[in-house]
Structure 1
Amino acid sequence: MKLISWNVNGLRAVLKKDFEETFKTLDADWFCIQETKMQAGQAVLDLPGYHQYFNYAERKGYSGTAIFTKHEPQNVTYGIGVPEFDDEGRVITLEYPNFYLITVYTPNSGSELKRLDYRQAWDAAWLTYTSELAAKKPLVYCGDLNVAHEAIDLKNPTSNHHNAGFTDEERADFTKQLAAGFVDSFRHFYPDQTDAYSWWSYRFNARARNAGWRIDYFVGSTAFTDFMQDAKIHDEILGSDHCPVELTTSDLLQ
């Protein structure tokens, strides 16, 4: 089975850049997106055979997530149950008999790290939320986590040290997540692969030079790793400053 995650940096914008054709080509069982930047009714997607779930931010033109799936879940929840984190449309959780799937758009620490305290509070709440679900059944979450975990995960680690997404605090929080019983699927399969990135700045011709960051992930609980078969980064797909990332699995619905 195939799962795709993509920060589209505005769903209405990417719809003008062959999104639906890319969607059909990828032919995923679950297609998770982040940063929809829209409200209900602002875009209509023609995706035959897919159930569509959206979580919108209260603030217009900001954040937001969605999941499109061929497989109707038994339960859908929005947010993580913490009011201070649930007004930006950052999380959708689908529950199936054998597993949970979550799409997440992790808060960015912002320029001059103005939101780092908020981000770290989010990280702690996120660890609690995912750990509680993973104690019940296998879990996989995906999305823009706004952190490059190790130096191998970005082109210029020295010059970016202490910048948003590569602070010691954010990296340590992700280490805590993994230590709690979770696996970065890409590094599970490709522990030493270099120059593998999922986001590039629009400045300085960064994408053409592949001066990027790997900040988009599929993270599985230890129990979920039994399902995992491969992970990919679709850096050939344009339309956003991020590219889609993929996880293939055995049959999750048996």
Structure 2
Amino acid sequence: MKLASWNVNGLRAAMNKGFGEYFDALDADLFCVQETKLQEGQLSVDHGERYGQYWNYAKQKGYSGTAVFTKRKPLSVRYGIEEDAEEEGRILTLEFEGFYLVNVYTPNARRDLSRLDLRLAWEDRFRRYLTELDAIKPVVVCGDLNVAHEEIDLKNPKPNRGNAGFTDEERAKMSELLGAGFVDTFRHLYPDRTDVYSWWSYMPGVRARNVGWRIDYFLVSARLAPFVREASTDCAVMGSDHCPVLLELDDSVWDGVGANR
């Protein structure tokens, strides 16, 4: 089973920068997108009968938003954690026989950290949501989590400590999430690999010099870790300030063989 996740920083713009060609060539079973920046009806993405499409739009125009393209029809779809309280389109949950897929675009604390308190409250609520799902069946979480967890996850950790995405508080919340029974699939396979990032500033020369941050993830319930075949970052793919992250799971996960409680 092949899964992909990509913060496209505006899907309309990404479509003009090779998104469709990459999507078709990858041929993933599940393709998750964050920061679509769309309203319903603004863009038609036609993949024939190969993929079902599920969208969670933000109420604010040109902001946030998530989408999932899937070759398998889900048993159920949930938009947000509390449908009547989610206005930024940040979470999509698809239920399959063997697992839940949660596509997420975590709020940024902002450069001046004016949204840090909101962000930390979000983290607690999101963690509770994931653990509630995990009590039913395993969970695969993907998306832009807007945090570099450890110093190895960004090029220049020391001068960035305390900045949005690398505050002690945000990093601690990521540790809490992993401690609640989830595994960072890339670090599970490659605990010491350096210079692998998923986001780069648009400042000139930054991406060419690979001065980046790893803030896009695939997490899985701990009991799915033995079924992880590969986790990678498609760093060469352009079209956004983020690049796609990829996960390969054993096909048995579709039906929960050996992983469900």
1:183 CA displacement: 0.3
Q: Provide the rounded CA distance (Å) in 1 between the counterparts of 2:45 and 2:195.
A: 33
Q: Check the 8 A contact 1:139/1:223 in 2, yes or no.
A: no
Aligned to 1:68: 69
For residue 218 of structure 2, what is the aligned residue in structure 1? 218
Match in the other structure for 1:123: 123
**d(CA) in 2 for partners of 1:212, 1:165:** 12
Q: Letter of the 2:56 partner, please give it.
A: N
User: What is residue 38 of structure 1 aligned with on the other side?
Assistant: 38
| Amino acid in the other structure paired with 1:68 | F
Aligned to 1:228: 228
Q: How far did residue 204 of structure 1 move?
A: 3.6
Are residues 1:90 and 2:54 paired? no
Match of residue 79 from structure 1:
80
How far apart are 1:82 and its partner, in Å? 7.2
CA distance in 1, matches of 2:242, 2:26: 16
Q: How far, CA to CA, are the matches of 1:203 and 1:119 in structure 2?
A: 25
Partner of 1:253: 254
Contact (CA 8 Å) 1:77, 1:94: kept in 2 or not?
yes
Aligned residues: 253
State the distance in 2 between where 1:46 and 1:132 align. Answer: 34
- Tell me how far apart the structure 2 counterparts of residues 226 and 39 of structure 1 sit (CA, whole Å): 39
| SS of aligned partner of 1:171 | helix
Match of 1:144 in 2: 144
Distance, in Å, in 2 between the alignment partners of 1:2 and 1:77 is: 22
Question: C-alpha root-mean-square deviation of aligned residues, in Å?
Answer: 0.9
Q: How does 1:1-254 map to 2 (within 5 A)?
A: 1-48=1-48, 49-81=50-82, 84=85, 86-251=86-251, 252-254=253-255
TM-superposed deviation, 1:67: 0.2
For 1:121, what is the secondary structure of its paired residue? helix
Partners of 1:177 and 1:131 in 2: CA distance:
9
Moved more, 39-48 or 124-133: 39-48
- Overall identity of the aligned pairs, in %: 58
How far is 1:97 from its partner?
Answer: 1.1
The range that moved more, 188-197 or 42-51, is 42-51
Cα distance in 1 for partners of 2:204, 2:167 equals 22
Q: Deviations over 1:74-111 (max 9, x none)?
A: 10000012755x11000000001110001000000002
1:127-157: per-residue Cα shift (whole Å, max 9, x none)?
Answer: 1000000011010110000000000000000
Q: Give the distance between the partners of 1:226 and 1:164, measured in 2 at CA.
A: 33
For residues 29-76 of structure 1, what are the alpha-carbon distances to aligned partners after superposition, in whole Å with 9 as ceiling and x for unaligned?
000000000100101112121000000001000000000010110100
Q: Contact 1:233 / 1:244 at 8 angstroms: preserved in 2?
A: yes
Q: TM-score, normalised by structure 1?
A: 0.98
Q: Please identify, of 12-21 and 218-227, the stretch whose mean Cα deviation from structure 2 is larger.
A: 218-227
Distance 1:253 1:162 in 2: 40
Structure 1 residues without counterparts, runs of 5 or longer: none
Q: Are 1:64 and 1:88, in contact at CA under 8 Å, matched by a contact in 2?
A: yes
Distance in structure 2 (CA, Å) of the matches to 1:221 and 1:213: 24
Post-superposition CA distance 1:168-193 (Å, at most 9, x none)? 00000000000111000000000000
Distance in 1 separating the partners of 2:222 and 2:29: 22
1: CA distance, partners of 2:162 / 2:111: 11
Q: Structure 2 vs 1, CA of residues 104 and 156 (structure 1 numbering), >3 Å: closer, same or farther?
A: same
The 8 Å contact of residues 9 and 35 in structure 1, kept in 2 or not, is answered as: yes
Distance (whole Å) between structure 2 residues aligned to residue 227 and residue 138 of structure 1: 12
Query: Is the 1:55–1:65 contact (alpha carbons within 8 Å) kept by the matching residues of 2?
Result: yes
